[in-house]
Amino acid sequence: MAVGDQTRGARPATAASAVGSASETAGNWLVNIPASYWIVGLVLVFMPAIASGFVLYQILGWAFILGMIALSLMFLAGYGGMVSLAQMSVAALAGYMVAILGTSGVHAISLGWPWWLYVPVAIIIAAIFGTLTGALAVRTEGIYTIMITLAIAAAFFYFTRQNYAIFNGYSGFASIFPPELFGVDWRRPIPFYYLTLFCAAGSYLAVLYVARSPFGLALQGVRDNPRRMAALGFNVVAHRIAAYTFASVIAAIAGILLVWQNAQISPGTAGIPAVIDILVIAIVGGIKRPIGPFIGALIYVVLRTYSPDVLEGFGLSGERFKTLIGLGFLAVVFWSPDGILGLWNRYRDRLRGKTDPLLGEKERP
């Protein structure tokens, strides 16, 4: 598959070097953190000092949430070679569970459980759903996976729209608020910003960690050559399904944050356009590295928020931002299949005049 082919060259090298450097300076890990992490981390932590509430809540908070859902897709696609379009549905299911088990505007359905009960239950249910999706999807490979997960996502959308007993049909649920923990109103911009930042950073680091763990390395081995891994005694199917479970947990956490941010959830949350958007975000950012989805999400959210104004400035209707996003996606897929990160890598390599280690000539762009 194309993803596998493209990533094959880059991935094992970085994974191997990371393992090597970690074992050399195991006691002194704090020094080992790259400078870019410190800079980005400090900027993000002190962002509330410079940014307005709107930027914190509607742009950065939303970008973190979409980035987490796209991250779960990136984990499956980049490390497992499985492009799953059902991750948005997993996230939406977790959001629905928050509305159904917790409190919402629809008193007839919501059960009113306390947060410490409904949050873990929502994550577990969504993870089970994601695992079942994975169990179906891993029976096939490559583009078939895309088709089947797209069909599952569509079934989820139509089911939530038809079902009134549990999912309250077309209108969904409204007035779903996060719990007032430690006397903080988590819907205020600054607390919500830190909450999403914490979850996004946590899932980013979790993906980094899992990718370098024995499980993650075996998963990358399965992506590159399932037959050889099976011959070595690895259970290929189990590794793939476990990858779906892990990715679904990240998507579920993001789904809970999403429903708290919007205070509502409806079938449209996981409609086909939303599902495609997650794919666009992951691909535009780049599915080779876990930071890609967050970059893609930031670009998407900024475009989505400001492009109507720009389009209207050119005398076009603001609704045409979808064409803009679609054209941008097409441009990325046509000219840089590994996303914005790929562009950056090539630019850097050209600056350094890096040569291919095997052929001794300049790497082709």
In the complex, minimum distance from the CB of residue 282 to another protein, in angstroms, rounded to a whole number:
10
Say how many residues touch another protein, by CB under 8 A. 43
User: Does the protein bind another protein through residue 155 (CB under 8 A)?
Assistant: yes
Return the number of the residue (136 or 190) whose C-beta is nearest another protein. Answer: 136
Q: Distances in Å between the alpha carbon of 112 and those of 107, 208, 325?
A: 8, 36, 39
In the complex, minimum distance from the CB of residue 172 to another protein, in angstroms, rounded to a whole number:
15
User: Does the protein bind another protein through residue 147 (CB under 8 A)?
Assistant: yes
Q: Distances in Å between the alpha carbon of 122 and those of 94, 106, 117, 249, 257?
A: 5, 18, 9, 10, 12
| 297-326: contacts with another protein (CB under 8 A) | 317, 319-320, 322-323, 325-326
In the complex, minimum distance from the CB of residue 165 to another protein, in angstroms, rounded to a whole number:
7
In the complex, minimum distance from the CB of residue 147 to another protein, in angstroms, rounded to a whole number:
5
Among 25, 163, 213, 355, binds another protein (CB under 8 A): 163
Instruction: Give CA–CA dist 137/308, Å, rounded.
Output: 37
Return the number of the residue (235 or 323) whose C-beta is nearest another protein. Answer: 323
Amino acid at 364: R
User: Does the protein bind another protein through residue 146 (CB under 8 A)?
Assistant: yes
Given the rule CB under 8 A, which of 24-32, 48-56, 163-171, 207-215 is the region that contacts another protein? 163-171
Q: Facing residues of 265 across strands? A: 173
Q: Distances in Å between the alpha carbon of 114 and those of 101, 155, 177, 263?
A: 9, 30, 12, 17
Q: Which two tokens stand for residue 255?
A: 């789904």
Instruction: Give CA–CA dist 68/297, Å, rounded.
Output: 9
Instruction: Give CA–CA dist 26/191, Å, rounded.
Output: 34
Amino acid at 277: D
| 187-226: contacts with another protein (CB under 8 A) | none
Q: At what angle do helices 62-74 and 272-285 cross, to 10 degrees?
A: 80
Closest CA to 203 of 137, 262, 116, 123: 123
User: Does the protein bind another protein through residue 337 (CB under 8 A)?
Assistant: yes
User: Does the protein bind another protein through residue 276 (CB under 8 A)?
Assistant: yes
Q: 104, 172 in Cβ contact below 8 A?
A: no
Return the number of the residue (163 or 355) whose C-beta is nearest another protein. Answer: 163
User: Does the protein bind another protein through residue 164 (CB under 8 A)?
Assistant: yes
Among 76, 127, 243, 283, binds another protein (CB under 8 A): 283
In the complex, minimum distance from the CB of residue 225 to another protein, in angstroms, rounded to a whole number:
17
| 99-138: contacts with another protein (CB under 8 A) | 136
User: Does the protein bind another protein through residue 165 (CB under 8 A)?
Assistant: yes
User: Does the protein bind another protein through residue 238 (CB under 8 A)?
Assistant: no
In the complex, minimum distance from the CB of residue 118 to another protein, in angstroms, rounded to a whole number:
24
Among 17, 25, 52, 162, binds another protein (CB under 8 A): 162
User: Does the protein bind another protein through residue 142 (CB under 8 A)?
Assistant: yes
* Residue ranges in contact with another protein by CB under 8 A: 1-3, 83, 136, 139-140, 142-144, 146-148, 150-152, 154-155, 158-159, 162-165, 272-273, 276, 279-280, 283, 317, 319-320, 322-323, 325-327, 329-330, 333-334, 337
